[in-house]
Structure 1
Amino acid sequence: MESIFVLDIGTRTVMGLIASLEDGKLSVSHLIYKEHKTRSMLDGQIHNVEQVTQIVKEIVQEIRSLSGLELKKVAVAAAGRALRTVRGTAKVKFPVGTVITREDVLSLELQAVQDAQLALPKNQGYIPLSQQYYCVGYSVVEQHLDNITIGSLVGQRGQDADLQVVATFLPRIVVDSLQTVVEQAGLELFSITLEPIAVANLVLNPTMRRLNLVLVDIGAGTSDIAVCGDNTVSAFGMVPMAGDEITEAICDAYLLDFNVGEQVKRNLTDENITVTDVLGIEQNLKKSEVLTTLVPAVDSLAEAIAQEIYGLNGKTPQAVLLVGGGSLTPGLTRSLAEKLQLPENRVAVQQAGKLNNVLNLPPDSLGPNFITVLGIAYTGLTCPTMGFVSVNINDIPVRLLNIGKNTVAEALLAGGFNLRDLYGRPGMALTFEINGQMVSIPGKMGTPGSITLNGEPAQLNNTVRQGDKIIFTPGKPGEEAKATYGEVLKDYFGFCRVNGKNVEIKPVVKTGNKIISLEDNIVDGSKAEVVTKQTVKDVLAEAGFLGGSTEVTVNGKVLSLLDMSLCTINGKKAKLDDQVAPGDHIYFEPVKNLTVDNFLPGTVTKGTALQVYVNGEKVALQQGEKIWVNKNPAERTTPVQPGDEIDYQFCDKKFPPILIDIFNKINFSPNPPPGKTRLLLLVNNEEKEYTYPLQDGDKIEISWT
C-alpha cells in the first residue's frame, strides 16, 4: 500500500500528512500541524520567509521521526489566493444561414479566454503571457446572437455571435516558488494541484458534480471558491477576506492582541470568556455580546463571498458547502444564505470527520480546517498524473498544468497560439457613408486551418496526454472588401434617348465640392454625397451638345443660348433644369444662324422712333442706333456666335430712355406759375421719378401743383 506525503502551508497553520488509499478511500497514517508563532503570513502571503521555512522544516522532521520514512517526494497545492480571475469577450461573424456548431462555440470560448489573458498583469514584459500564467478553468457567463441574449449558441442560426467568459489563471511564478521551497526542504515535488481542486476532488464526488454546487474554503487569510456543474469544476475564485477579519474585529472591539483575539474567537462556544487587553485590564466577555459585535464583520465577509459566487456562476447556485477553519465563524452560514437568497439549510459546513471516503482520522482532526490537506493527499493518490503534461506543438515543447482532462485547445492556449487563426479570419469589412447612411461590405471569408494529433485529424476538445504531438496549421485570412462607387451604385444606372441616341444616366458622387470618379475605389470610413437625379442639362452635356460656350453677353447681361433652343421631353416642351428618368426621350434643337437683331428689344426696329404721349401730344424719342460686337462696330444683320459680347445704344443714350429725357423734346418752362411750387410727373396715371424707364406708347402728364 503506497503512501503519499503532503504539505499544506496555510496562513495560520502548516500541516503535514502521510496517507494511502485503502479500497479507494483515504487512510490517514500521520497528521500533525503547527501554528505560526507570529503573523509571518498575512492573507495567504508569506511575510517572513525564515519563520515559515523553519516551521516547515519542523513539520518534515517530526513526520520523518513518527513514520520512519525517508520522505523524498511531497505533494503540495497552490493556494487559491494566487489565482487571477478576469473576464474576456470574443466576437465572430458567421456567413448567412450558418448553423453554429459546438466546435465553433468552443473556439469562440477560447478566444475569449485569450482576451481575458491579455488583461493579466505583465510581470515580465519580454515573456509572452501564455508563459507567465496557467489557465486553470473558465466558465461562460453571457452569450449573444445578433444582439439578443441566448442560453446556448450551439445549433442556432445567425451572423453576429459573441460571448463572455470568466477565466481563472495561476501565475507560473507561484508554481516555481512552491518548487523552490520544496527543494530547500530537501524534497522533490511529486505532484501539484490547486487547493480548490483538491478540496473539490475529496468533497464533491462525481455524482454530486452534475449539480450546480459551490465549494468555499474559508481559511485565515483568504476564501477560495470552486464552482461545479455539468459534471465538472468550471470556475475558481478568491476573496481576500476570511477568518482573520473576524479576529481583527474582536481585537478592535476589545483592544486585544491578535493572538488573544484568536483565542476568543475559538472559545465562542463558552458563555463567558475572560481575557486581558493590551492595557493590562482584565475583561469578562459574554458570548452574546461578542456575537453581536461580530455581526457587521460576518455580514461583510458573507457579502464578499456572495458577490464572487455571483460573478463566477452568474446565478444563485443550488447549494453551498463551506470548509476551512473560517467556516466555523458563528452566523456565517445564515448570513451567506441570505446574501445568496438560499434557504439556510442549503449552506452547510462540511466536517472532515463526516467524510465517508476518509479513514483513521485522529480525534483532534475532525473539523473543516483539515479538509484541504486531506484533499491534497486524495488528489495526489487518485490522480497520479497531476503535475505537468508536456506536449509538442509544431515542434515546440509546451508544458501545461495537468488539472484534469487536458485538451488540444488548452495545449494551444498554453503554447500561446492564437485560436482566432483556426478558422481563418474574414477579410476586413469596408464601411462608408452615402448620403448620411452607413453602408458596410463584408470581407471575404477565410480558409479554415487544421489540427492533427499524433498524425490524425483532431478537434479542439480532443484529450492530450504526455508526449503527444500536435500540428496546428492556421487558416488563411480572407481578402479585404473592395468596391468602386460604380459597383455600389449600379442600380442607379439607366439610359435615355437624346435625338434618337442612347445616353447613359449615371449618379454623381461628391466628397465636399469634389466630384469623385465612379471608377475610384471607396476608401474605408469615407463619406460621400450621391446625386442620383439628373437634369436635361446634365444629359445634354453627357451627350456632347454643350461643348464650349453657350452664352452671349448683351449690354453686360449674360443670356443663355440654351434658353432660346428647342427642347422637349417625351414630346412636351421642357426646361433645362427639368429632371430626366431612364427611358425618357429628349429632343433638342440648338438655335442657329443668330444675328444681332435676335438680341435687340422687340419694340425697336431700324428707322422707327419710340413714341410716347406728353400731355396728350405725341413725342418721338431715340432716332438712329449704334451697335458693337466684341467692341467692333456692327449691324443688326451681323452674325453672333456663342461667347460674343454685344453692346448697343439708341439716340446716343443707352436704351431704354428715362422720364427726364422728354424735357429735351418739349417746350417747358422751369419757372412755376404763381402760387405753384411742386412739379408733378405722371406716367400712365402713376407718379414716377425722373429716372423711370419709358416704354413705347407711355402716356405722360406734367403739371404744377
Structure 2
Amino acid sequence: MDAITYPENMVFGLDIGTRSIVGTVGYKQNEHDFIVVSQSVRYHETRAMLDGQIHDINKVAETIREVKKDLEKQLGKKLKEVCIAAAGRVLKTVTVKAEYNLINEGIISEEHIRTLELNGVEKAYEELRKEMNSGDGNFYCVGYSVVHYYLNDYVMTNLEDHKGSKIGVDLLATFLPEEVIEGLYAAVGKAGLEVVNLTLEPIAAINVAIPDKFRLLNIALIDVGAGTSDICITKDGSIIAYGMIPKAGDALTNILMQRYLVDFKTAETMKTSILKKKTVSYKDIMGLSNKVTREEIYEAVRDEIDHITAQIAEQILYLNGGKSVSAVFVVGGGGKLPYFVEALSSKLNLPKERVALRGEEVLNMVQFLQKEIKKDPLLVTPIGICLNYYENRNNFIYAMVNGERIKLYDNSHLTIVDAALAIGFPNELLFPRRGKALHYTINGSERLARGESGEGAIIILNGKQVSLNASITQNDIIQITESTAGADATLMVAKLPEYKSTITFAVNHKEVICPKYALANDILVSDTYQIKDGDRLELLNHYTLEQLLEFMDLPYRKGITINHQSAKPQDRVYENFTIYYPLHEDIAASYEEVAAMISEEDFKEYSLGEDALLKDDFLRDGISEEVDEKKVEKASSISVYVNKTSIILKGKDKFILVDILDVYPFDLSTAHGSKVVLKINGDEAEFTSPLNNQDVIEMYWEK
C-alpha cells in the first residue's frame, strides 16, 4: 500500500484479547464515517492470556510485535503510538450518591458541578477500598458515568445555571487494578509502542454497538469474548452499570477438547468451522482421523451455553435492579453460535427478536479498504478502541504534588483535585470549611445556625496561584496548602427572627411596656443570652403577675385582678391583658393617704417616654374607679352580642370591651391557646376598645 495516500493522523488500535490480538489502523473521514486502512490478526501460540489477563508478558509482546510489523508492511510506514483496552474481568465498578451543599443559595456553575462529581469519585474510591483487602494493591479510576443529577433532591438532566442550595449526583465510577495496567503497558512497551489512549473493552464496544440516541432505552450489551463475557447496561441516556462473568468462548472450546480428545487449537478450529461447514474433519491426540457434524457439536456445547447464558442473565438482572432489560445486543466471537442468542432470550424471558447479534448493521459507518475483510461482530470492539481515541486521549502522566512524585491516569480532564486525591489529601481540606454549627430548638422546633465559611485551599501550580479546577499536565509541580475553617456560629436571643423585644400590658388603664423574656433549658434568660449548642429555648409570650409586679417594683396585695378576675402571683399575664392594682386595701382612703403609701419612686422604673404613668393620673384613675359615686348615679346600660350571646352591661356612662368579663364567662386564668383574639363588628379590638349599643363581639383563644 502507498502510505502517502493516507492522512498522517491515523489511529492505531490494538485489541489484546484472550485468544487473539487484532490490530486496526484507520482515520475519521468526517463526523460519522471511519475508514479502516489496514487490519491484522494474530492468534496466541500459547495460553499467554487467560480470561483477559496477561500471564506471559514476553509472549504477548511478541505477538503484538508481529501484528505491528504486518501493519507497517501494509502501510509502508512505522507505527509508534497505540490505543488499547482493558478487559472487563479486571474492572471494578462502584455506584454512589454524592451531595454538595452550596454555601449560599445561588447560581450553579460548572465548577460546582465538577466539585460534586469529584466528591462522588472520592466516595466511590473509599467504598472500593472498604471492599478490597489490604493486599489487593492500588486501583486507578479510569472513568465515570453520571446516572442522574439532583437539584434540591429533584432529578435534573443538567444543573448548570440553575439556582439551588443543594446538588447531588448518582455516579458510576470504574476502576482498574494497578498490576493489570502495568502488565498491558509492559507488553506494549516491549513491542516498541507507546500507549496514547487506554479505555475499557465494554466502553469501546458500546460506543459502536449502542449509539447515544438508543441509550434512553434500557438495553444490555454483551461482549462475548474468549475468556470473559462483558456486560454494559444503558438507561435514560446513560450507562448505568458494568458487569462481567468469567466465562465465554473458551469454555465451549474446553468442552470440545474433552469430548473429542483434541488439543485446544484443534477444538477452537472445530468450534469456528461449524459456522460455515456442515461437517468438520479432525485428528485426535491418538492420531485417529474423525468427522463430526455441526449438529453434534451444537449438542456437545448446548449445556455449557445454557450455563453461560444463565449466568449472564442473572448478572443482567442484578445490574438492572432485579428486572430484565428491554433488549440485548450481543457482540464478540463467543456469541456467534446460533443457539447462544436463543438461549439468552429464554433466560431473560424476552422475545427472540429482542436479543440480537450485532455486526454488520452497527458498522455501517465503517469502510474497510481491504476488500477481504467482512463486517463481523468480532470487529466491534477493535473499531470501538480506535473511535474512543477521538473521544478521550488517555494515558498516564507524572506530576510532583507536595514534594511527592505521583502517576495519574490521564483522562484528558485532569485537574488539581485529581492530583490531591492521588496523594490522599483529604477532600474536606480542599474546600472552605465552616466553623462549628449551633444546634438548638425553639418551642420544640429544631434550628441550626451555621458557622462562618473559611478560606479555600491555596494551590500553587508551577509557581502561580490557581483554582482547584486548573488543568494539569506532564511534570507539573503542585503545592497544596489546606483550607481554613471559619468562626463557630454565635447567636443571641435578641437576634432570633421570632423574638419580639417587648410585651405590653394595661395596668389601671395605663400602658406598661416590659422587656420580653425566654427560657433556656427551663431557666429564665434575657435577650442578651448567648445560645449554646443543644439549648432548648422557649420564647415567652407572657409574664406571671409576680414578674410584672417585680418589674414595676410594686408589692403583691389582695384585690389585684387580671381582666376583672381575681389574680394570684403565679397567674399568667398575656399581651394587652388588663390588670387592676388596688391602691390601698381601704378603698375609702383619702388621696393623701394613698399618695403617702406609694411614693413617686415606685413608678419611675416602669414609666416610659410619652406613655409615662404620671403618679397623679395613676392614683386619680384608680381612686375614681372605686369611690366616685357620682359616676355610678349617672350610669346607663347597653346591649351587646358576645359570641352570639346577648349581654346587657349596666352601671357606667361608658363601657369598654373588658367590661363584658363582669357578666360573660370567659376563662383568662389559664392559657388555652397562643393568644386571645378580640373583634368588634368584625374589626380587631383590644380590651380597652370602647363599646356601643348593639355591638357584635367575638372573643376566643387562637390555637
Letter in 2 for 1:494: I
2:521 aligns with: 510
2:338 counterpart SS class: coil
Q: Does 1:98 align with 2:106?
A: yes
Q: Does 1:120 align with 2:125?
A: no
Alignment check: 8 A CA contact 1:256 1:277 kept:
yes
Alignment check: 8 A CA contact 2:79 2:193 kept:
no
Q: Does 1:33 align with 2:43?
A: yes
Aligned partners of 1:357 and 1:201: how far apart in 2?
A: 19
Letter in 1 for 2:370: N
1:551 aligns with: none
Shift of the alpha carbon at 1:116? 1.4
Alignment check: 8 A CA contact 2:58 2:187 kept:
no
2:560 counterpart SS class: strand
Alignment check: 8 A CA contact 1:251 1:258 kept:
no
Residues 201-240 of structure 1 deviation map (CA, whole Å, 9 limit, x = unaligned): 98479xx556538754322332345678999x97773313
Alignment check: 8 A CA contact 2:83 2:196 kept:
yes
Q: Does 1:179 align with 2:185?
A: yes
Shift of the alpha carbon at 1:65? 8.3
CA 1:72–1:271: 2 relative to 1, 3 Å: closer
CA 1:504–1:255: 2 relative to 1, 3 Å: farther
Shift of the alpha carbon at 1:119? 1.2
TM-score (norm 1): 0.60
Selected match of 2:198 from 193, 199, 202: 193
CA 1:221–1:544: 2 relative to 1, 3 Å: farther
2:543 aligns with: 534
Selected match of 2:17 from 2, 10, 14: 10
2:503 aligns with: 494
Aligned partners of 2:213 and 2:566: how far apart in 1?
A: 84
Shift of the alpha carbon at 1:75? 5.9
Unaligned runs of 5+ in 2: 587-703
Shift of the alpha carbon at 1:471? 8.4
Aligned partners of 1:517 and 1:296: how far apart in 2?
A: 79
Higher helix share: 2
Aligned partners of 2:36 and 2:247: how far apart in 1?
A: 28
Aligned partners of 2:36 and 2:471: how far apart in 1?
A: 28
Selected match of 2:248 from 226, 243, 246: 243
CA 1:576–1:71: 2 relative to 1, 3 Å: closer
2:180 counterpart SS class: helix
1:303 counterpart SS class: helix
Residues 447-499 of structure 1 deviation map (CA, whole Å, 9 limit, x = unaligned): 67798989999888886655678888877655443324454362375244768
TM-score (norm 2): 0.60
CA 1:283–1:74: 2 relative to 1, 3 Å: closer
2:689 aligns with: none
Unaligned runs of 5+ in 1: 547-561, 594-705
Instruction: Describe how 1:314-353 pairs up with structure 2 within 5 A.
Output: 322-333=330-341, 339=348, 344=353, 347-350=356-359
Shift of the alpha carbon at 1:579? 1.5
Instruction: Describe how 1:395-414 pairs up with structure 2 within 5 A.
Output: 399-404=407-412
Shift of the alpha carbon at 1:165? 0.9
Letter in 1 for 2:60: V
Alignment check: 8 A CA contact 1:423 1:447 kept:
yes
1:559 aligns with: none
Aligned partners of 1:521 and 1:79: how far apart in 2?
A: 62
Shift of the alpha carbon at 1:94? 3.9
1:577 aligns with: 570
Aligned partners of 1:384 and 1:431: how far apart in 2?
A: 47
Q: Which has the larger radius of gyration?
A: 1
Residues 291-331 of structure 1 deviation map (CA, whole Å, 9 limit, x = unaligned): 7645643542442563477479x9968x8654322232434
CA 1:4–1:32: 2 relative to 1, 3 Å: farther
2:500 counterpart SS class: helix
CA 1:64–1:290: 2 relative to 1, 3 Å: closer
Aligned partners of 1:342 and 1:410: how far apart in 2?
A: 45
CA 1:243–1:442: 2 relative to 1, 3 Å: same
Aligned partners of 2:257 and 2:500: how far apart in 1?
A: 79
Q: What is the RMSD computed on CA atoms of the aligned residues?
A: 5.8
Report sequence identity in percent. 25
1:147 aligns with: 153
Selected match of 1:44 from 34, 44, 52: 52
Alignment check: 8 A CA contact 1:430 1:524 kept:
yes
Aligned partners of 1:311 and 1:18: how far apart in 2?
A: 37
Alignment check: 8 A CA contact 2:35 2:367 kept:
yes
Alignment check: 8 A CA contact 2:344 2:355 kept:
no
Selected match of 2:60 from 53, 56, 71: 56
Aligned partners of 2:364 and 2:163: how far apart in 1?
A: 50
Shift of the alpha carbon at 1:21? 6.4
Letter in 1 for 2:51: D
Shift of the alpha carbon at 1:532? 4.5
1:491 counterpart SS class: coil
Alignment check: 8 A CA contact 1:217 1:324 kept:
yes
CA 1:516–1:79: 2 relative to 1, 3 Å: farther
Residues 153-176 of structure 1 deviation map (CA, whole Å, 9 limit, x = unaligned): 334443333222111123334323
Selected match of 2:168 from 162, 166, 176: 162
Aligned partners of 1:295 and 1:65: how far apart in 2?
A: 37
CA 1:476–1:335: 2 relative to 1, 3 Å: farther
Shift of the alpha carbon at 1:97? 5.8
Letter in 2 for 1:306: I
